[in-house]
Structure 1
Amino acid sequence: MQHKSDELFQGAAPYYARHRPGYPPEFFSELRRRFDLDGTQTVLDLGCGTGQIAIPVAAAVARVFAVDPDPDMLVEGKRSAAGTTNIEWLRGDSSQLASLNLPPLDLVTMGKSFHWTDRPALLTELDTRIRPHGAVVVVTAALHDAATVAPWDDIVRTLRDKYLGARRRGGSTYRGYQHSEETHLDVLARSPFCEVDVTRSGWSIERDIDAIVGLQFSFSYSNPAQFGSDERCAAFADELREALLDRYPNGTVTEPLTIETLIATRPTSRTTTRSATPV
């Protein structure tokens, strides 16, 4: 992954594990159906966070390699996966795959992490590691869907700008938010995995006020380290909690969620001759 990847989510891991929503059952059902997951496959979950994809998918495959540059994310993931024996939690990022001694892969998943990588270079590398009929699965938030903007977004933005400034940071720099104009679909379309199916899934969850506050500390641009001190972090939390209770005095809010899933495979003509390089 680009940038100083091990500092992007500094201090965020416990909030990430508790407050980031997982993925709907339909997402995993589609992976099982599409790739005939029968307990024999090997999956790489790259940028795994605290296991929102790795843990559920482990029930359908033989092995999962859950890779993330943040050691605290891996600690939280292991804790959440207690009792699951076929996940290997590895510290690393997309630029370090060669050092991880991975076997040939059937599936690579990236849940809201693809944008942190050198996307073309990563896809070229994955072409040497994924078996002929394997795939890359990229999951993103539906960023341009106004219907899925959190109803409290204006409150959070106002206070975040007050405490952290209007320009989002990624880790200790602003580089994380100089996003490319080239979409994930564009990048995939000119990669070895150029046949792409796009689907959307929508659902909703209920959050209480403390969950909304905790969620803010799970993001790279508003994790606890961004505030510079425990005092400023606590002041932000207190002010946000008060503003949210003013708007939502009953203490609960419905959050609409939508994900976009890009399932990318090689052209059919290539899968008959392509083989993954043993490692």
Structure 2
Amino acid sequence: MAEEIHFATDLYQGTAGYYDRYRLPYPAALLDYLVAASQVSGGGRLLDLACGTGQLAFPLSPHFAEVWAVDQERDMVATVRAKADAAGIKALRSVVSSAETLDAPPNSFELAVIGNAFHRLDRDLVARRMLDWLAPGGHLALCWSTSPWVGTEDWQRSLAATLNRWQQQLSAEERIPAGLDQARRDLPDADVLAEAGFEVVGRSAFTAEHSWTLEELTGHIRSTSFLPPAVLDDHGAAFDADLAATLLPHSADGIFTETVSSAYDLARKPA
């Protein structure tokens, strides 16, 4: 088995406000297909693990009697709790915990979801724990979407180069562990789930066009683990100015359009 890559536990500290405002929601079509494919009953329990500010927990909540939203970052969970209170959602339980140490009852969740985060976890351990937490016949969905600096548009290439330059300038390269991509090639997520005992159902993929403003892009970048506010610190204004100077030549109206790819990989606990 390939050696797992380990991330620091505080990489998203201070990002919750940016994360909630500037992270793109998952497409409605993806969520609809996921609900149908996982055959939820409407009266079960959902687990959103490494939930961020609830990008999956909230839109999926109408299909469940109870939702657990779990994240190791306290400010993420505090944001989830405030949003649930504001929306009057009583059946959402917000929990501060890592995926590896969460205390959850066995056979108790109808669906578990992880959004853009499985690669950051101890995948082997979490997959085994998920299998125990899910009810027989329950499903696990690994959800993800692409980032604006990954793409072939000229502005995306310039954005990626600018982010790389600033990571080097601020000595932030090691916030993303070396060898991550190779580790996932050596042991793909689907293989991890199969080895844990899941029946791998397969992938459903979706695309949608999205247009960003420069302000939205700078906010989105501050929601990341590699250039959050704590890393940019008092360089924030200089970073924003550099990004504007780099990107605006690629857009006459200050709008940057890309095709966003989203998907979920679905697996099932044997009945």
Give me the TM-score of the superposition, normalised by structure 2.
0.86
Match of 1:31 in 2: 34
Q: How does 1:64-103 map to 2 (within 5 A)?
A: 64-81=67-84, 82-83=86-87, 84-98=89-103
Q: 2:267 aligns with which of 258, 264, 269?
A: 264
Q: 1 CA distance for matches of 2:108 and 2:69?
A: 15
Letter in 1 for 2:198: F
Q: 2 CA distance for matches of 1:152 and 1:28?
A: 29
Match of 1:19 in 2: 22
Q: 2 CA distance for matches of 1:17 and 1:213?
A: 14
Match of 1:196 in 2: 201
Match of 1:136 in 2: 140
Q: Taking structure 1 as reference, are residues 75 and 169 closer, same or farther at Cα in structure 2, changes over 3 Å only? A: farther
1:19-74 deviation digits (Å, cap 9, x = unpaired): 11111111221122223334301011001011110000001111110011111112
Q: 2 CA distance for matches of 1:151 and 1:189?
A: 39
Give me the TM-score of the superposition, normalised by structure 1.
0.84
Q: 2 CA distance for matches of 1:102 and 1:22?
A: 30
Secondary structure in structure 2 of the residue aligned to 1:152: helix
Secondary structure in structure 1 of the residue aligned to 2:219: helix
Tell me if the contact between 1:203 and 1:257 (Cα under 8 Å) persists in the aligned partners.
Answer: yes
The answer for unaligned runs of 5 or more in structure 1 is 272-279
Secondary structure in structure 2 of the residue aligned to 1:45: strand
Letter in 1 for 2:141: V
1:235-259 deviation digits (Å, cap 9, x = unpaired): 1012112322222130112221111
Q: 1 CA distance for matches of 2:38 and 2:91?
A: 19
Greater Cα shift, 71-80 or 208-217: 71-80
Q: CA RMSD in A?
A: 2.5
The answer for unaligned runs of 5 or more in structure 2 is none
Q: Taking every aligned residue pair, what percent have the same amino acid on both sides? A: 24
Q: 2 CA distance for matches of 1:19 and 1:142?
A: 14
Match of 2:117 in 1: 113
Q: 1 CA distance for matches of 2:92 and 2:153?
A: 33
Letter in 1 for 2:135: R
Letter in 1 for 2:51: C
Match of 1:154 in 2: 157
Tell me if the contact between 1:42 and 1:63 (Cα under 8 Å) persists in the aligned partners.
Answer: yes
Q: Does 1:54 align with 2:46?
A: no
Tell me if the contact between 1:159 and 1:236 (Cα under 8 Å) persists in the aligned partners.
Answer: no
Following superposition, the deviation at residue 78 of structure 1 comes to 3.1
Tell me if the contact between 1:63 and 1:86 (Cα under 8 Å) persists in the aligned partners.
Answer: yes
Q: Does 1:175 align with 2:177?
A: yes
Q: 2:245 aligns with which of 223, 242, 255?
A: 242
Following superposition, the deviation at residue 79 of structure 1 comes to 3.7
1:108-129 deviation digits (Å, cap 9, x = unpaired): 1001110111111111112221
Matched pairs, number: 259
1:125-155 deviation digits (Å, cap 9, x = unpaired): 1222110010110012368xx7x55653222
